[in-house]
Each structure stands twice: as C-alpha cells, then as structure tokens.
Amino acid sequence: MEWIDHRSRAVLCMLRCLENSHPVYIGNVHLSAQWDRCEEKVNQVKSLFKQIEKHQQSLNLTMANSSVVVCGDFNSSPKSGVYYLFTEGKLRADYRDDRFPDMVYTKTDVKLPCPLLSAYNVQFSTEPSWTYSYQDRWVDTLDYVFFSPQQLEVAQVVAIDNSNRNKYIPNAVDPSDHLPMIVDLKIKVSAVRRLLNDSA
C-alpha cells in the first residue's frame, strides 16, 4: 500500500502490485442513507474520483494506466442514478429513477473518468436479489463491487443464494443487516505488459 486517504464517506488507498508495479486504487464507500438526498450521493462519488485523479496526477498516472475498484454500501438500487453513473460512466441532469421519479440526482451532467463494471453482474448477468434487509421490512440491493475493466477482470465471485435465506437480519447466521460480497479480481497481464511496453 503506497497511499491512503480517509474521506467522510469513503476510505481510499492505492496498492501497487509487487509482481508488475501496476497501481490499483481501492475505494470503500458508505454513501448517504437518506433516500431523498440523491444529489448528495452523486457528489460523494464525484469527490471520490476527484481525490483519485488528484493522486494519479501527482504520480503522472491516468485511468488508462492504473486500475480502480469501488465497493461497499452505496445505499442505491440497481435502477438508481448512482448505479447508472458507475456502469455508464455518465449521468445526465434529466435522469430519473423509476421508483422515485421526483428525485433529482444532479443539476448538471456528470461524467466519470471511466465507466466501471459490477463484478456480480459480470459473473451472473444480474445483481443479487437483495443484499440488505431491515428485519424484512425493507429489503433491497444496495451493495456492489465495481471495477475498471481495462486492466482488471473477474477471477471468481462467491454467489449470494437468497432463495431460502432468512430476511430477518442481523441474526445468528448473518450478523449484519448487509450480506457479505466476496470477489476475486485479477490484473490482466497482457494489458499491463502492453502498457509497460508503450511507456518504455
């Protein structure tokens, strides 16, 4: 680990692969839980990427020659503007969530440095049916592992089988109100070699 930064809603770090020196930025987030503060969540995401880009610039790095993983509790469903922003890499000011059509996510168009993929969606072509439950009164998918696909790929993902799972969590089996997400990502060696050759 070469760098760490604590934000109000995120912990950021940069790891460097010992084998090939490839830098990987990790962001672990817990976005605002207020459903009517969608714009605040988008601003938290923008701030996260701003800090990553600031550190990249200090090392003459870019999104093209480093990798990014953002994971955690996004307090946002797969139909939300936050999810759309990550997976599309942009969010228009007129975006509206089907479930909350009156909510405004941003007053101006937002663009991330690069779109990310959801590891669970890549592996299973869908997100888990739910990752959070408030004693079966509010059940939703709020947690994700997003990654930049240029130099990273999914090695394996531990499936979340919710078919017969008790939604009254926390309980003796699931000690949190969020289910754990387990993902192995690997650096694409060929992509990193190509980057090293291009910079030589």
Give DSSP secondary structure letters for 155-186. EEE-----TT---S-SSSS--SSB----EEEE
> Amino acid identity, residue 5?
D
pLDDT tens, residue by residue, 59-118: 999 999 999 999 999 999 999 999 999 999 999 999 998 888 888 999 999 999 999 999
Domain region containing 18: 3-199
| CATH number of the domain encompassing residue 152 | 3.60.10.10
Interacting residues of 12 by C-beta distance below 8 A, sequence separation 6+: 3, 4, 5, 6, 25, 26, 27, 48, 51, 52, 55
Contact 10, 48 (CB under 8 A): yes
Contact 24, 187 (CB under 8 A): yes
Report the predicted TM-score, pTM, of the whole model to 2 decimal places: 0.92
What pLDDT band is residue 35 in, cutting at 50, 70 and 90? confident
Q: Percent of the chain having pLDDT more than 70?
A: 94
How many structural domains compose the chain? 1
Q: What is residue 108's three-state secondary structure?
A: coil
Relative to beta strand 139-140, strand 143-147 is unpaired
Q: What is residue 60's three-state secondary structure?
A: coil
Contact 30, 72 (CB under 8 A): yes
Alpha carbons 119 and 125: distance in angstroms, whole number: 9
What pLDDT band is residue 119 in, cutting at 50, 70 and 90? very high
**Which of 146, 133, 142, 144 lies closest to 174, judged by CA?**
133
DSSP 22: -
pLDDT tens, residue by residue, 140-170: 999 999 999 999 999 999 999 998 999 999 9
**Which of 178, 74, 183, 198 lies closest to 132, judged by CA?**
178
- pLDDT of 192 reads 55
- pLDDT of 28 reads 98
132 burial level (CB within 10 Å; 0-12, 13-18, 19+): buried
